[in-house]
Amino acid sequence: MEYFSLKRSSVADGGAPNLSSKVYVRSTKSGKVQKIVRELYLRQDIPCSSNLCRACLQIAPTDYSKKVAPFVLSDTPAGSKNFPNGQYLVPDTNAFLTGMDLFEVETAFHDVIVLQTVLEEVKNRSLPLYHRLIALTKNEGKRFYVFFNEFRQETHVAREAGETINDRNDRAVRKAVQWYNQHIKQAISARSRKQTRVPSVVMITDDRDNLRKAKAEQIPAITLVDFVTGLENANELLDMISAAQDQREVRSRKTEVFYPEYYSISKMMTGVKAGTMHQGIFNVSPYNYLEGSVHVPAFDKSLLILGRENGNRAVSGDVVVVEVLPQDQWKAPSTKIIEEETLNKNDNPDVEDGENIVSERERKALQEEVKRAHGQSSEGRPQPTARVVGIAKRNWRQYVGHIDRDSVRSTSKSSRQQQMVFLVPMDKRIPKIRIRTRQAGELVGQRILATIDSWERDSRYPVGHFVRSLGELESKGAETEALLLEWDVQYKPFPKTVLDCLPTEGHDWKVPASLNDPGWSGRKDLRDLLVCSIDPPGCVDIDDALHARKLPNGNFEVGVHIADVSHFVKPNNAMDKEASQRGTTVYLVDKRIDMLPMLLGTDLCSLKPYVERYAFSVLWEITPDADIVSSQFTKSVIRSREAFSYEQAQIRIDDNSQQDDLTAGMRTLLMLSKKLKQKRYDAGALNLASPEVKVQTESETSDPVDVQTKKLLDTNSLVEEFMLLANISVAAKNYEAFPQMALLRRHGAPPKTNFEELGNQLKVKKGLELRTDSSKALADSLDTCVDPKEPFFNTLVRIMATRCMMSAEYFCAGTQAYPEFRHYGLASEIYTHFTSPIRRYADLEAHRQLAAAIDYEPLDASLQSKGKLEGVCKNINVRHRNAQMAGRASIEYYVGQALKGKDIQEEGFIMKIFSNGFVVFVPRFGVESLIRLRDLATPEPEADFDAENYMLKIKGDVGRTVELFEKVMVRITDEVEKTTGKRKVRLTLV
Amino acid sequence: MAPAQAAHVNLSPAELSFLRSSLSQTPPIRLDNTKGPRDFRSMRAEYDVLPGANGSARIALEDGTEALVGVKAEVEKSRWRPAAGQQESMLTVATGDVMMRDDNEEEDESKGKGQNAWIEMSVEIPGFRDDDPLPVFLAAMLTESLLASGALKDRLYINRRFHWKLYVDVLLLSPPLSYPLALLSMTAHLALLTSRLPALKSEKDEDPLFDDDWDASVPLYPKTGKSTSIAQADKPPVIILAMAVGPNIIFDPCKEELAVADAVLAIACANATSSTTGARIVSIRTIDPPSHLTPPGIPNSMNSATGGTVPASSAEALTQRELLADTGVWTPPRGGMKRDLISQIVKMAVETGGVAEEVIGALQAIEVG
């Protein structure tokens, strides 16, 4: 009987030599469990990519232009002690996981072969590390080559029966190394008989078993540590190896456990689904490092997490799973300032014996908390507390900090002894990190970048490793880089691929003279309009320009012209990708980190005066009462007549001798803007305040010399009003054209509970009522919050009210219902960002959508996928916030520098009261600082804290009472804050 | 009584009569004269033919009939049904009874918790609609035998909130050249025997989480191991077709042999759990032999065309026909099966060294070898 099998024959059963398969189980989000079989077609044309090899050059696959991708690995790789003939490195997965920072070092680790097996394993183990590895393979100078060993017939390894996946992968790595060695040897003998220098292909692994097998199979292999020890600056490099590994070996000896174990993933998943556990982002209070909070959808107010034990090794920013504690353990949020530094000064990073998870002093601090919870104050009502039972996702990043001087045993620079030291992160919410280093002496007094590697149950503090030193504490370079790193701002220069996307003409680019040029198609010629721009002084990236003229029918034509960035930045090219990554331009006091290359931002796109520029124009017909008759959107060419600063514009408008058309247009704009503003306030828009100061710097050295609060002129709001109007008009148009895909910006109405505390404070202290039912009610009641004796009081309340608000966010129209589009602060139904495409990516996307909405060009595919657009929104929301934070941190740093060595008395206002200190805001410098009781006198004076009346009666020599909103005179000096190493202003009561 | 197959045998009454008399000889002479009464037709079998399924098998018989079975398991949410016992435990939560109950459950947590709906069987036969009697009946027979032992459905229990749902898709690749029940059953047996379920990693009543390594998956029917050292490992049942012709009992009849059967029996057997030899019955059904459907021949005496007289009533026709029975012309048998005949067939199937043990052993050997 003839018989045919239905099975496909493959390598495994000796059939087809080029077919293999792998089988695994996939669990989907919806709970389905599938068996997945992937067929692998093995091939022989995957090149080794070594410049020594000619054979591979013949067989390597070509791209569409019939070119082979250039080979990566050098023909003269660097050698080392063990491998004098040069080496290609083949690290295994663990080598990358523990030593990624090493591989990123510029001076060492060149010619590395990244095996596909390893790359995939790295991806499974840690996505951030995978992305870093991918970035390395793209870095031409490092010569990292990804070799697809699983697809190459000679190096493919089928899993044997009973073999674990790890063993199989180790075998695959060994097999690939073995093949490479043979291959290189052959390649060299084929090249010339004389050449004897044959580089070794060396496996780097820390797995003892793997090393042993490699030795048996005569495959060159070495441990990461051994390899690094043979390098030049071994001491620095050795510090960069992750501590997670050796921690594991040490652990077996210890029995003492500080933290409860995490629940299993399945238990957490079940709990979260069933609603018995909750998932959210763990945030630590900036005032009290022992108090964390997690906002979960199930509760209005955040869940409190008190103490280290309940925090259970979560680091601020991690996504955690929490379990609510029984009601008798609920507590009020802290009214006390607790700083890690003051409580745990004497910890020894090396010795952990006899150390409790909660030190005695911490316990005392917590105890006082509980006592307070039983007091009856409306503010201190007990809130639900919770404990962390597991981590859904670690969001550990690289942290900037400095070495705690007290934790260093020997500071001698010559000592190369390895010791454990504490790194105190700049971010107070991050716990101290234990770091093992051989260069403690040199690192003291420097800004240092480090990462957390692990946090085991038997260790009170997380363990991490040194990445690099940024420079001396307080040096401008180090501090600026530190805050950029802290806020994750991409500040490296634009790579060549991005610069390649720029117009080839460079600065000579001009609007084509001939109207038949394709650049003119679809564009309106608006060069005759009297357009001008108004910006802060010294502004070079001019996004917007305006014009207004009277129409024969008595109405006005008003135009807002925005730089046509989308003409230069095409979707999905390298420049667009870089811009979407960066999301926004970051403004620091002395520095601007651009979203787009200089050529575009400050020249080709910038609407500079006297030259023709492409623009995207919004034109309205507006009645003298500022009602909009019609609006029109068009791509255009404009020629700005003048670039004013706010002040210059104000002077020109106020100067009655100026009667030219341009000035008349500006006066029209000003008149209309005032009406628009009034309308907006009538609709319930909020006038919010934030403390803004400007640091004046010396032009040459950019050393700060003075600090001023920013002045606001009429012209500021002139520009602002029309930008708002343009944004709203464009938002409506884009939404009409793309109801699912329009990129919009919303500002959610803050939950009432946010205002509870402020409302109560105003009621108790000033007898004022804060109504928060709608933005209109809030705006009106904010207007009534005045203290006739104290003009600044109103601003103070506005600043505090602003902090109760939600933050505005970008979103994709299809993800929200129309009522949710509302912008609370602006009291607008719909809003987007359109007017600053040079410095915000969201605006660039809005430009593309508007261009498609007016049929100027088709909509790019990337803007038709909701998933992609949501990803963009998520990223730019984060970037936007980070940019703001970095900007503020920069100002804070410069204010500190400006006040360095000074001793001034200024008036300040009390914003917040704790039981052992209070926060004072100094409007003159826009600084906010904590005054602890112990700063007032030593020993720390006793004080009665009246939480209901927001009063703190200080006893003893100081003998005075401070209360909320009180105006106090403070003495301002500066000091280097011990915990963060930042120079900050220091306030004391006078 | 199950309906008969649809494939008609095109044999004349004379041929049928010859076939029947040779089968009722001692020893019987079968259509394939090389085979004895207990011999099965030769077959080729292989398993794991469908890479994406949890288990699969294919068996081809020498006459060209070929079946393919795929077993697919999916995780499903169990509907919460308040059982009497559970209700009680909920009320007595504080008394400590629950703790004891839990301890007992540790040992055999899933015992008796399986439900019939967790196994879904579909049979597809070329040329038939899925609501035709034959596929429906075959599916019912196969399901019945699978559920009868009870052990399989309990094995599908994951925890109180989740279970595996087993889809057994049976496909006849060729036209039904002979009554396909036995073939389908054997193929399903082999597929189930080689089925594997992903290994569970989560505990208790958590949402199930599975090991993503397929090599770590566990067989649906555990191999003989420590836990089953006393009793033999459970194996899926297999249906054996036997027919009686006169005094003889013939196993695995072919289509033509079936046409002259006095009685046909489908016996679902599983391996014995108490001893290593023999087998046990999980279910049994009689099958209407096709001969019952053969329209009775009309003797010349009753055929008006040949000069006979048409009987006045059907009762008269019946008596007339009974009288003809002894005249040597073969007539389809009437009536049911004798009790001792059934017991004889069953005995031959399940005794030590019987047909069932042989079949199960042979199918087992395919996997092992």
Q: pLDDT tens digits, residue range A307-357?
A: 888 888 898 888 999 988 887 777 776 666 666 655 555 555 554 443 444
Nearest CB to B207; choose among A21, A159, A266: A266
The one-character DSSP state at B232 is P
**What are the residues whose beta carbons fall under 8 Å from the beta carbon of B36, sequence distance 6 or more?**
B27, B30
| pLDDT at residue A44, rounded to an integer | 86
Which of the two residues, A266 and A525, has the higher pLDDT score? A525
| pLDDT at residue A340, rounded to an integer | 62
pLDDT class for A879, splitting at 50, 70, 90?
very high
Chain A residues touching B205 at Cβ < 8 A: 270
| Range B258-268 average pLDDT | 87
For chain B, say whether A38 makes contact (Cβ under 8 Å): no
Distance CA A770, CA A783 (A): 10
Pick from B164, B174, B214, B220 the residue to mutate for testing the A interface (most A CBs within 10 Å): B214
For chain A, say whether B220 makes contact (Cβ under 8 Å): no
| pLDDT at residue B106, rounded to an integer | 41
Chain B residues touching A32 at Cβ < 8 A: 74-75
| Range B113-141 average pLDDT | 88
With contact defined as beta carbons under 8 Å apart, do A546 and A561 qualify? yes
**What residues 177-216 of chain B have any CB closer than 8 A to a CB of chain A?**
198, 201-203, 205-215
Question: How distant is the Cα of B199 from the closest Cα of chain A, in angstroms?
Answer: 9
| pLDDT at residue A877, rounded to an integer | 93
Residue A418 has pLDDT above 70, yes or no: yes
| pLDDT at residue A176, rounded to an integer | 93
| pLDDT at residue B57, rounded to an integer | 93
B223 located within any domain: yes
Distance CA A987, CA B264 (A): 102
> In the structure encoding, which two tokens stand for residue B357, read together?
């043990």
Distance CA A888, CA B184 (A): 75
With contact defined as beta carbons under 8 Å apart, do A586 and A887 qualify? yes
Chain A residues touching B366 at Cβ < 8 A: none
Domains of chain A: 42-241 (3.40.50.1010), 265-351+364-393 (2.40.50.690), 496-743+827-884 (no CATH), 900-989 (2.40.50.140)
**A6, B58: Cβ pair inside 8 Å?**
yes
Q: What average pLDDT does the structure give for chain B?
A: 79
| pLDDT at residue B84, rounded to an integer | 45
Nearest CB to A31; choose among B48, B51, B75: B75
Tell me which of A251-260, A628-637, B62-71, B134-143 is least confident: A251-260
For chain B, say whether A27 makes contact (Cβ under 8 Å): yes
Distance CA A489, CA B293 (A): 86
B61 located within any domain: yes
Nearest CB to B202; choose among A5, A7, A264: A264
With contact defined as beta carbons under 8 Å apart, do A771 and A756 qualify? no
B234 located within any domain: yes
Locate the DSSP E strands across chain B. 43-47, 55-61, 66-77, 119-124, 162-172, 196-197, 218-219, 238-245, 248-251, 263-271, 279-287
| pLDDT at residue A769, rounded to an integer | 85
B302 located within any domain: no
**Amino acid identity, residue A919?**
V
3-state secondary structure of A465: strand
**B75, A266: Cβ pair inside 8 Å?**
no
CA nearest A596: which of A490, A486, A743, A720?
A490
With contact defined as beta carbons under 8 Å apart, do A914 and A964 qualify? no
Distance CA A483, CA A485 (A): 5
Nearest CB to A7; choose among B49, B54, B211: B49
| pLDDT at residue B229, rounded to an integer | 43
3-state secondary structure of B191: helix
In chain B, which residue's Cα lies nearest the Cα of A37?
B52
| pLDDT at residue B368, rounded to an integer | 64
Nearest CB to B44; choose among A1, A8, A31: A1
Chain B residues touching A264 at Cβ < 8 A: 201-203, 206, 209
A4: number of Cβ within 10 Å:
7
pLDDT class for A171, splitting at 50, 70, 90?
very high
**A1, B49: Cβ pair inside 8 Å?**
no
Chain B residues touching A279 at Cβ < 8 A: none
Residue A255 has pLDDT above 70, yes or no: no
Chain B residues touching A266 at Cβ < 8 A: 201-203, 206-209
Chain B residues touching A21 at Cβ < 8 A: 51
**Amino acid identity, residue A897?**
Q
**What residues 15-54 of chain B have any CB closer than 8 A to a CB of chain A?**
42, 44, 46, 48-54
B344 located within any domain: yes
A218: number of Cβ within 10 Å:
9
* pLDDT (tens digit per residue) in A494-517: 888 888 889 888 888 888 888 888
CA nearest B45: which of A3, A380, A829, A273?
A3
CA nearest A866: which of A824, A811, A947?
A811
In chain B, which residue's Cα lies nearest the Cα of A2?
B62
Q: Transcribe A687-752 into DSSP letters.
A: ------EEEEE-TTT--EEEEEEPP--HHHHHHHHHHHHHHHHHHHHHHHH-TTT-EEEEBPPPPH
Complex prediction ipTM: 0.75
Chain A residues touching B50 at Cβ < 8 A: 6
**What residues 261-280 of chain A have any CB closer than 8 A to a CB of chain B?**
264-267, 269-270, 273
| Range B150-172 average pLDDT | 88
Adjacent-strand bridge partners of B64:
none
**B205, A35: Cβ pair inside 8 Å?**
no
pLDDT class for B326, splitting at 50, 70, 90?
low
**A33, B201: Cβ pair inside 8 Å?**
no
- Which range marks the domain in which residue B190 is found? 13-81+110-294+332-368
* pLDDT (tens digit per residue) in A550-570: 999 999 999 999 999 999 999
| Range A690-719 average pLDDT | 69
For chain B, say whether A29 makes contact (Cβ under 8 Å): no
> In the structure encoding, which two tokens stand for residue A264, read together?
């299993």
B268 located within any domain: yes
In degrees, rounded to 5, the angle at the alpha carbon of residue A259 between the alpha carbons of residues A258 and A265 is 155
Given strand A960-963, what is the order of strands in its sheet?
A943-946, A951-954, A960-963
Distance CA A543, CA B67 (A): 73
pLDDT class for B168, splitting at 50, 70, 90?
very high
**B54, A33: Cβ pair inside 8 Å?**
no
- Chain A to chain B, count of Cβ pairs less than 8 Å apart? 81
| pLDDT at residue A619, rounded to an integer | 94
Q: What is the CATH number of the domain that holds B362?
A: 3.30.230.70
Nearest CB to B213; choose among A7, A165, A269: A165
Chain B residues touching A9 at Cβ < 8 A: none
For chain A, say whether B98 makes contact (Cβ under 8 Å): no
With contact defined as beta carbons under 8 Å apart, do A645 and A537 qualify? yes
| pLDDT at residue B226, rounded to an integer | 45
| pLDDT at residue A743, rounded to an integer | 93
Q: Transcribe A309-323 into DSSP letters.
A: HHHTT--TT-EEEEE
B27 located within any domain: yes
Chain B residues touching A1 at Cβ < 8 A: 42, 44, 60, 62
Tell me which of A527-541, A593-607, B74-88, B237-251 is least confident: B74-88
For chain A, say whether B68 makes contact (Cβ under 8 Å): yes
* pLDDT (tens digit per residue) in B185-211: 999 999 999 999 998 887 777 778 888
Distance CA A309, CA A402 (A): 26
Question: How distant is the Cα of A159 from the closest Cα of chain B, in angstroms?
Answer: 10
Chain B residues touching A31 at Cβ < 8 A: 75, 77, 207-208
Tell me which of A204-208, A921-925, B108-112 is least confident: B108-112
pLDDT class for A637, splitting at 50, 70, 90?
very high
| Range A197-220 average pLDDT | 89
Element (H, E) at A630: strand A628-645
Distance CA A284, CA A266 (A): 27
B144 located within any domain: yes
With contact defined as beta carbons under 8 Å apart, do A984 and A977 qualify? yes
CA nearest A308: which of A241, A355, A255?
A355
**What residues 251-270 of chain B have any CB closer than 8 A to a CB of chain A?**
none
> In the structure encoding, which two tokens stand for residue A623, read together?
């009645």
Distance CA A359, CA A258 (A): 11
With contact defined as beta carbons under 8 Å apart, do A824 and A747 qualify? yes
Residue with tokens 């009291």: A827
**B68, A6: Cβ pair inside 8 Å?**
yes
Question: How distant is the Cα of B47 from the closest Cα of chain A, in angstroms?
Answer: 9
pLDDT class for A876, splitting at 50, 70, 90?
very high
Distance CA A608, CA A638 (A): 10
Distance CA A555, CA A668 (A): 11
Question: How distant is the Cα of B51 from the closest Cα of chain A, in angstroms?
Answer: 7
SS3 content of chain A, % helix, strand, coil (to 5): 35, 25, 40
| Range A669-676 average pLDDT | 92
**A27, B210: Cβ pair inside 8 Å?**
yes
In chain B, which residue's Cα lies nearest the Cα of A164?
B215
Q: How many domains does chain B have?
A: 1
| pLDDT at residue A115, rounded to an integer | 93
Nearest CB to B51; choose among A26, A37, A165: A37
Nearest CB to A35; choose among B42, B44, B52: B52
Residue A852 has pLDDT above 90, yes or no: yes
B150: number of Cβ within 10 Å:
14
The one-character DSSP state at A683 is T
